């Protein structure tokens, strides 16, 4: 995959044909940051069929792809155990060659817009302190760091939490 390939990537809603490729991207990224075990997103039941998991009201998942190759994705869903108006940014991961080219920003922008379109007023996310580039992306987008987690995501391995409030 070249930088030109990534620049030409398109973002679209997830399809069932994306499930296996996207699961590999997610698992590879988690392994890269030593986050492949219990308490991390890769262990979630929805990893078996992401397209089905996000084919519900107030859910959305987007895939970045180029030439039939899945480069990554990001989704939103209601925050489990959280306020009705709070979405969770879920499973935002890119394949290593797709990072640093602006594709993450495009995915994040698309996902934030979907959250607002679904009527959410806040977006919560969990990440890891060692994911420096991701944290910088979230902060540039206006997410503010929290002192403690919200909701009940089951991701007790995450040690960094953020919240974005919708401006009125």
Mean pLDDT on 4-26: 84
- Which residues partner with 89 through β-bridges? 76
pLDDT, residue 108, reads 96
Is residue 30 scored above 70 in pLDDT? Answer: yes
Rounded CA-CA distance 155/161 in Å is 11
The model's confidence at residue 43, banded by pLDDT at 50, 70 and 90, is low
Q: Tell me the CATH number of domain 3-165, given options 3.40.630.30, 2.60.40.420, 3.90.1150.10, 3.40.190.10.
A: 3.40.630.30
Using CA of residue 132, residue 138, residue 144, residue 147, what is the dihedral sign?
A: negative
pTM of the full structure: 0.87
Instruction: State phi, psi for 142 to the nearest 5 degrees.
Output: 105, 0
pLDDT, residue 155, reads 55
Is residue 27 scored above 50 in pLDDT? Answer: yes
- Which pLDDT tens digit goes with each residue over 102-159? 999 999 999 999 999 999 999 999 998 888 899 999 999 999 999 999 987 755 667 8
User: Contact, 123 vs 76, CB < 8 A?
Assistant: yes
Residue 126 CB-density burial (10 A; 0-12 exposed, 13-18 middle, 19+ buried): buried
Domain ranges of the chain: 3-165
Rounded CA-CA distance 132/156 in Å is 19
Rounded CA-CA distance 104/90 in Å is 13
């Amino acid at each position: 995959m070249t930088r030109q390939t990534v620049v030409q990537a398109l973002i679209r809603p997830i399809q069932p044909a994306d499930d296996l490729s996207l699961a590999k991207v997610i698992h590879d990224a988690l392994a890269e940051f030593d986050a492949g075990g219990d308490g991390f997103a890769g262990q979630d039941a929805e990893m078996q069929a992401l397209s089905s998991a996000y084919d519900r009201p107030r859910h959305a998942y987007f895939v970045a792809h180029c030439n039939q190759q899945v480069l990554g994705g990001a989704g939103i869903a209601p925050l489990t155990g959280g306020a009705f108006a709070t979405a969770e940014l879920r499973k935002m991961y890119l394949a290593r060659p797709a990072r640093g080219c602006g594709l993450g920003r495009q995915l994040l922008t698309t996902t934030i817009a979907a959250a607002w379109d679904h009527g959410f007023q806040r977006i919560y996310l969990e990440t890891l302190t060692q994911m420096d580039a991701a944290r910088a992306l979230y902060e540039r987008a206006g997410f503010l760091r929290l002192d403690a987690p919200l909701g009940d995501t089951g991701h007790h391995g995450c040690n960094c939490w953020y919240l974005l409030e919708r401006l009125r």
